[in-house]
Amino acid sequence: MIIKTLAENTAVSEAFGSEHGLSLYIETAKHHLLFDMGASALFAENAAKMGVDLSTVDIAVLSHDHYDHGGGLKKFLELNQKAKIHVSAQAFGKRYAKSPDGKYKYIGIDESLLSHDRFVFVSGYMRINEEMELFSGVRPVKFAPSGNKDLFMMRGDSMVPDDFAHEQNLIIREGGKVVLIAGCAHNGIVNIIEHMQTAGYGSPTHVIGGFHLYNRSADRDEDPELVGRIGNRLNETDSQYYTCHCTGIGSYNILKTIMGDRIGYLASGSQILI
């Protein structure tokens, strides 16, 4: 399994663009998958530089309903004419981030794209094929990211805290490996892993994605004490971790100190082989 990072907050070199967003291209023996599309068309520019032909993608997944993961959706629809795009049944809602001055900024995805007929709306769980499955329904029972308190959604005419019911996670099984991929882990990466296990989906050998330990609205890293507790808990598992994007460099450095070689960082232009 090859995983190429098409868009992320940092880059491996000046040859690749970076942005506050995430997009991963994943190649298995049978499928070409795009997981998230970043905040803009940047993912497509980096894909070309990495030798990735996005027109060959046969499966796409949108992890959740925020622009930094679905901002490039329109571009993908232009470049690829065949892949079904698996989104949460709660997708295309009105999502907002509250800034320190109390103002609300829209951070959802382009609702006009809903008219396309290539979306597959997923509720709870879906087995996509013999390699891939999606699940949601994770509850933030422990180690919940504090940055969630600044994220909201419209329910009717009221602004309410986002419940992240629109967040879904991907499992890929190949060659004895069980790879869990999360977009931002708003419901907490520990909770996502434990939900996967208790729901009977197995334990991951590898975990990839953002852990939402950086609050972009407030430009603040997560409480180091909480990050340390998360690192210690992840260290108790048998998984290899690769994180990126909303984890934040400060929080990543704490996790790296605790977890050592058990965790690595992905950046635009990087490639890993699992």
Report if residue 266 sits inside a domain. Answer: no
Q: Is residue 273 part of a domain?
A: no
Cβ contacts of residue 65 below 8 Å, gap of 6+? 87, 88, 90, 91, 92, 93, 95, 108, 109, 166
Q: Which of these, 172, 192, 135, 201, lies nearest to 274 by C-alpha position?
A: 172
Q: Which residues of the chain have pLDDT under 70?
A: none
The number of CA neighbours under 13 Å toward the Cβ of 126 is 16
Q: What is the pLDDT of residue 218?
A: 85
Supply the pLDDT for residue 249.
96
Q: Identify whether 187 is part of a domain.
A: yes
Q: How far apart are CA 271 and CA 49, in angstroms?
A: 13
Q: Is residue 268 part of a domain?
A: no
Query: 246 in a domain, yes or no?
Result: yes
Length of the chain: 274
Structure tokens at 57: 């993608």
Identify the CATH number of the domain in which residue 199 sits. Answer: 3.60.15.10
Residue 269 lies in a domain: no
Instruction: Please give the structure tokens belonging to residue 63.
Output: 């992890």
Instruction: Give how many domains the chain has, as a whole number.
Output: 1
Give me the domain span that covers residue 110: 2-261
Looking at the domain assignment, is residue 267 inside a domain? no
pLDDT at residue 20 in the model: 97
Q: Which helix (H) or strand (E) holds 265?
A: strand 263-265
CA distance 25 to 6: 7
Output the CA torsion sign for 156, 158, 163, 168: positive
Q: How far is CA 158 from CA 162, 188, 209, in A?
A: 12, 25, 31
d(CA 145, CA 222): 7
**Within a domain: 252:** yes
Q: What pLDDT sits at residue 104?
A: 95
Structure tokens at 27: 């190649």
d(CA 100, CA 218) in angstroms, rounded, equals: 6
Gap between the Cα atoms of 225 and 90, Å rounded: 33
pLDDT at 217: 84
